[in-house]
Amino acid sequence: DSGVTQTPKHLITATGQRVTLRCSPRSGDLSVYWYQQSLDQGLQFLIQYYNGEERAKGNILERFSAQQFPDLHSELNLSSLELGDSALYFCASMRGLNTGELFFGEGSRLTVL
């Protein structure tokens, strides 16, 4: 158990819909990272937050947005969903800002029909 909690574990929805994925980092970790992993694909970096502030952005679509709240949990919002958004979405946390080990959650599997 990494200590990172992601909900929901599985989500099935239709094209055009909007979903929110939630992540609770390990206790004491200030950084949260979001990654997308499609079938047979590697881990695509989406966005990083540190202590409530956005610090780095990858190739995140404009239809996607995220935030980190004062209690350090984070949410990834995906809107106007398309079939190609079906993927595993991972949240990972780190103690500080680029300090070392990333701790990953078990992922949220999104299926868009």
Partner 1 sequence: GENVEQHPSTLSVQEGDSAVIKCTYSDSASNYFPWYKQELGKGPQLIIDIRSNVGEKKDQRIAVTLNKTAKHFSLHITETQPEDSAVYFCAPFDGNSGYSTLTFGKGTMLLVSP
Write out the residues near partner 1 by the rule CB under 8 A.
2, 4, 33, 35, 41-43, 45, 48, 55-58, 90, 92, 97-107
Q: Shortest distance, CB of residue 103 to partner 1, whole angstroms?
A: 8
CA distances 6 to 16, 60, 109, Å, are 23, 19, 10
Q: Shortest distance, CB of residue 88 to partner 1, whole angstroms?
A: 9
* Cβ proximity to partner 1, 12 vs 15, nearer residue: 12
- Do residues 110 and 86 touch, judged by C-beta distance below 8 A? yes
* Cβ proximity to partner 1, 15 vs 97, nearer residue: 97
* Cβ proximity to partner 1, 15 vs 45, nearer residue: 45
Q: Shortest distance, CB of residue 32 to partner 1, whole angstroms?
A: 11
DSSP of 15-79: TT--EEEEEEPPTT--EEEEEEE-TT---EEEEEEETTEEEEE-S--TTEEEEE-TTS-EEEEE-
Q: Shortest distance, CB of residue 66 to partner 1, whole angstroms?
A: 14
